[in-house]
Structures are given as structure tokens and as C-alpha cells.
Structure 1
Amino acid sequence: MPKLTVDTEKLAYGLERGIGHTNTIFATIPEKLRLRSSPCGLVSSAIVEYLKNEDFPARQVISSPKLPFSPEMQHVIPLVGEENDPVVIDASFSQFLGYVGLTGAYVEATQAKAFPEEKILHFNLSEKEVVLNWLTSLAVQFQSQNRHPRDEFGRDLGQGPLSSASASRIKQSLSKIWDPSNFSEWPSIARVQKDGQTVAKYIPGNAISFS
């Protein structure tokens, strides 16, 4: 089977630049933080639009993990390739670090380099355990470094539903997000698809390729 290659730097560059050309509030976010703060529907639509333009097999699913602390949260995910073991390309995973208090607002308030260098995850679903261990490790590390800055209204910008949770609880929560049993097909929303088409135009060639 052909191997999927993702140049995450190229892809992140194109997505962040493209978001700046949409008529959304996310265009006003500082460019380096756009993938940390933009919604999954927008970035996944852009990725799938790019893939379809390149004639790559791609689809979007929506995960409904029903997390106890956020039961309504859903996450749109692009899947590429084989039906039985597709590749996930997730450019909005950073939002889940917000569960331990790491958000764009936290970074802007502290000027700390708290986010990982990675802005995009790509992995076969069969190998998600490796990604979950890595994300859990990042979350636990941040817990020990969290400065808990406060905004002008006294709100704790480092607070999240898993700010004090154990590593096992963090991993258990994250695992539900990429659990295929929680997936269903995502019917694209016209407005989001249109914005995704705009963003996709700025993704450089060969950001994603099969070889």
C-alpha cells in the first residue's frame, strides 16, 4: 500500500495563513496561535478539501466522546486512506490541552513556550496508543509548570477540568476522542465547507503526499 507522508510544517503554515484569509473571528488570532485556537470543523474541512483536490481518499467523521465534564463536546476529524485503518490528520488537537489549562489565552498571558512544537498529529488509528501516551505526558508535565495566571476579571487562565487530574484519568478522557466506536459520518456544513475551501488554497503543494 502507498505510504502517506505529511509535511506538518508545510501543512501548519498553509492552514494558519489560510485561516487569516477567512471571514471568521479566527482570522484575528495571532498567526502562530491559529491552530491552537481554531475549531476542528474549519481546519478539518480545509485538510479534506486539499486531499480531495489531490484525488486522495479522504472523509470526515465526528467523534462524540461524551466526556463527563464536557458531554456536548464533539470533534471533527479527517481520515485518510484505508477504511479499516485510516490515518488521522488532526490539526486542532491542541484544544484538548486546554483540559489541563494550556490554551492560547494562557500563552498570551504568560508568554511561556508551553505548547509542544507539534501543531498537527498524524497517525494510523491502530497506533493511537503512542499518541495518547505522548499527549498524556505533555499534559502531566504542564500540570507541574502551570502558573495559573489571572485575567483582568480575576479568572484563572490556567484552570481546566483536568488541571489536577491523574495521568490515568487524563489518558482515559483523551482516548475517547479518537475511539472509532464514538465516530459517525459528519455531514458537512455549507458555511464551514466554504471557509475550508478558502483555507485549502493556501496549503502548499506536497504538504500531504502518497508514495
Structure 2
Amino acid sequence: METKQRRPTGRPRGFDADEALERALLVFWEQGYEGASLANLTAAMGISTTSMYATFGNKEQLFRKALERYTEGPSAYVARALDEPTALGVAAALVAGTIRTTTRPSHPRGCLGVQGALATSDAGRGVRDLLVAWRDNGYCLIQERFQRAVDDGDLPPGTDPALLARYVTTLTAGIAVQAAGGVGRDELQEMADAALRGWPVS
């Protein structure tokens, strides 16, 4: 007796999970976590809600995956900046990377990590806390790098690496907010250059 072969279940042929996640990232980046509805997300991703849940999980899980992609993609300049040979080089690279990423014509303006969930309802608290931790992690990495710069004599002995790291992260967050408001790349760079002129030198 001939038996019928059952078709494997799962996402339909032609479904590109990476491309769908990239599109979801852009929606979250442009609209924020709570502003991005499931209808907007699935329409941009080109899949059904059922397929979204099956592949990525719920909306918060999708956002977490999108943030990972953002960290490894548009925000990857942070890791590269920390490898600069001097503390001033680190700060300048962080600022330049922020300006470049937040004003790119082909992407939403601003920063997903800064503006994605500054204010949320109780339902979005998990994402708000996630982004707080994401920003704190970046701050800690910069602080550790500046501490090494003090230890190596690249920064003056009296420099407070925690305060200096907070200065730089506040500067880059401000750049992201200004970029989201339409301030141009040249003006942002002029402002950043002025902010770094008082950099402590050993």
C-alpha cells in the first residue's frame, strides 16, 4: 500500500528570515518599540503574524533579535572605536560613528538604542529595561577603556574614567536625538569637534 509523504511544516518557501529581521529592525528603528504595531511589522517583513511568531517569537522577542542585529550592524562602530590607540581616538571614533549612523540617508534617523523605548507602558517595560542595560553596557566598556588609558599614561593621572565615559556617552546620545530631529551631519560634527576640544591631555 502506497503511503503519502507529508510535506514538512514550517515557514513557506522563499521566506528569508534574515531579510525579514532586517525589515523589522528598520520599523522598530523608525517607529520605536510601542509605535511599531504587529500589522506594520508583518507588512514590512512580508509574512503573516503566524509566521512571525513561529520564526521570531512574540513582539518583544522580535525586538530583542532586532537589537542584536543593530548591535552587530549599524552600531558595530562602537567595538571598532574601542580599539583606537588613544582615548581621544576612541572618543572621536565613537562620535563619528554615531553621526554617520544616525544621519544615513538610507536608514531612519536617530539611534534605536537611545530612542527605541525611552517611555513605555507597563507592557513595554521589559524592552525599556533591555535598552537601559544595552546603554549601560556601552558605558561600562568605554569606562574600562578609559581606565586603561589612565593606567597607560594616555590620560592624566587625575582623570576620572567614569565621568569621562559618561561625558562621551551623553554626547553621543545627544547627537542621536538631534539627528532624529533633523539636524544635519555637518552641524553635528562641528558641535562634536567643539565638545572634544577640551579633552584632557597628559
Q: Which has the larger radius of gyration?
A: 2
TM-score, normalised with respect to structure 2:
0.29
TM-score normalised per structure 1: 0.28
Higher relative contact order (Cα pairs below 8 Å, separated by 6+ residues): 1
- Which structure has more helix as a fraction of its residues? 2
Report the structure, 1 or 2, having the larger strand content.
1
